[in-house]
Chains A and B, each alone.
Chain A
Amino acid sequence: MLIFVTRRAATMVLTMIAVSMLLFAALEVNVENVAVKVLGPYSTDEQRNIWLENNGYFEPIYVRYFTWLSNFVVGDFGESIRFRTDVSEVLWPRLGNTAILAACVFAVVIPVSLLLGVLSGMREGSKLDRTISVTSIVTTSVPEFASAPLLSAIFVFYLGLLPGTSGMAAGFDPVQLILPALVLIIYDFGYVARMTRASMAEVMTTNYIRTAVLKGLPYRRVILRHALRNALIAPFTVIMLQINWLLSGVIVVEFFFAYKGFGALLLEASLNQDIYLIEACAMVSVFVAVMTQALADIGYTYLNPRIRFS
């Protein structure tokens, strides 16, 4: 266990370093553009050079990288050129907002998709199974940027039930969370449901289920006590990995609904070549990605005795 955790932590640190170096190198391609973004398109070359000089952009890249790295390690994320404050001041509130959104999404996606997946995997090929399977393929095929305008046309324009933007200008308002969460739920539940269905269908064909049915156990008991325990192992991993997948959807949804979250921040930072902000955001997302993967692996080992004891 200790070896496993140490190895995972080492991989995470290595990945973070690789990603941060990759980003630094990528932004180096067009470093003059940073000054244009800050000073505007009508600034003179002279002004841009002075700005770059003052902000240390003429230092060699490795000097800048190691300065950033040594500051980052002690918790100083640098200053955002876009927001003109410390990166941590914008990063944490935004991350909190996205966590709220993601929590809403998962609170619906997990129970709904597990239920639908189990129902359709229970009797493979039945009418209910076909309906659920096709529905989940259809909803997964509608990308977020298509379902967002469609849903807002229906709920905001025709029905007038929900607000069209989620800027939260007048304080936190849960009603404004409904549409962004709905868009993400529709796109995401299908995948988890299909994975659960596949896992459930596989379990249903095993010998021990056949034995349980043949020895006359009530069907409900066969499903609840025997099948579910094994069928829910695979979806657990899928759900954990879904956290990482959610991020690209979050970018589109937060952009569309003007929700002040992590995805919108990442998009804004990327569009403005705000290097320290991008680096901080990227480190957070790599951290989340590696952590969820590690948790998925640990959970999988824990839930599946065949792996644990081998």
Chain B
Amino acid sequence: MSDTTLNGSPQDTPRSGPSGLARFFASVALLRESRVGMIGAGLVLIWVFMALLATLNSLLVDAGVLQLGIVFPPNATFAPIMPPFSEFIVRAGTTINEMPVEEICSLIASGENEGSYNCGTFWLGTDHLGRDIWARIFYGSQTVLTWAPIATLCAYAVGIPMGLAAGYKGGWVDDLLSFLANVILSFPVLVLFILFITLVGASAINIVVAITFASAPGIMRIVRGLTLDLRTREYVFAAQTRGEPTWWILFVEILPNARGPLIVDSMLRLGYVIITIGVLGFLGLGLPPPDPDWGGMINETRQMAMSFPWMTVFPCLAISSLVLGFNLLADGLREVSMRD
């Protein structure tokens, strides 16, 4: 059993145990024992499913298979001609049936009134520009679940080699890397983001770079601590005696055995990165406006939250539920990996 758990015993190197896929399914099966973890996994999977559906939907619409798609396009406004303000803001659950769907399709096909609708059901209401909130949350899940994992992966790609090097080499390499990490960590992270984004401009790539820069030191510290412990193990001595190159020892002998805590940490970190992307959107430094972005949605509508609460409440719930999913998942994984 021990070689299939998350922090499998250090004796088995990945070459000797069961195949990677079998291990993965065994870990997933183990997660079933933690109810909290299952709820978290469920929440995350719901949003992943939404994001995939959103991608599929826009692909099908682009290919001409579907005419309207299953939800409104994210930037479509519910406004044939500019009506008075109060008429294109509708409450959650309002159904408006003024125009049959075929007519709208022909309108879109003709290019007239592009991006305007005046029929359909607005499950979560519309925002201050008459855009369907549900559609924006739906497509926003795609944005969040694309960039947050990319940013987290980049942070790990930078942090893991630094941590391995610092922990394994020690000496001046460790001193230098630890000092750099301390400098960045003793700095309020958000300020770093704000400065970076204001200086180089807001775009998805810049957000990824900023998050990598600010998260890598934390990852480095964790990996360094794990490496300090693992490098004294016998299988590392054995590898050294066999004369294996350093990079092989670091990435093939040490890293796979440090994966347990790293998987738990990555789930927590994903949640935190989602919050960070949200904060940037909230401060107006997130993705450029027309794209649906949950943090940006909260910022754009928060002034109106008093009169039209649904505009702000639903994006808040969306982001909180996704972060909650990752946090519960991390907690469940930790619980399961501590058990043996």
Contact = CB atoms under 8 A, between A and B. Distances in A.
A271 B190 CA distance: 12
Contacts of B226: none
Contacts of B313: 149-150, 153
Contacts of A22: 183
Nearest to B319: A146
Nearest to A246: B188
B312 A137 contact: no
Nearest to B272: A143
A157 B310 CA distance: 13
A282 B324 contact: no
Contacts, number: 128
Given A14-B179, A26-B196, A146-B319, A267 B186 contact: no
B302 A15 contact: no
A267 B283 contact: yes
B278 interface: yes
Interface residues of A, number: 50
B194 A146 contact: no
Interface string A15-32: 100110011001101100
Interface string A227-258: 00000000000000000100110011001100
Interface in B254-272: 271
For chain A, what secondary structure do more than half of its interface residues adopt (helix, strand, loop), or is it mixed? helix
A273 interface: yes
B191 A142 contact: no
Given A23-B195, A266-B191, A143 B278 contact: yes
Interface string B200-212: 1000000000000
Given A248-B189, A270-B191, A143 B305 contact: no
A302 interface: no
Interface stretch (A65-73, A106-114, A284-292): A284-292
B94 interface: no
B126 interface: no
Contact of B182 (A11, A138, A252): A11
For chain B, what secondary structure do more than half of its interface residues adopt (helix, strand, loop), or is it mixed? helix
B302 A293 contact: no
A15 B327 contact: no
Interface of A: 11, 14-15, 18-19, 22-23, 26-27, 29-30, 133-134, 137-138, 140-147, 149-150, 152-153, 156-157, 164, 244, 247-248, 251-252, 255-256, 266-267, 270-271, 273, 278, 281-282, 285-286, 289-290, 293
21 contacts: A15-B186, A18-B179, A26-B195, A133-B331, A140-B327, A143-B319, A145-B279, A146-B316, A153-B305, A252-B190, A266-B191, A270-B194, A270-B195, A282-B187, A282-B191, A285-B188, A286-B186, A286-B187, A289-B185, A289-B186, A289-B188
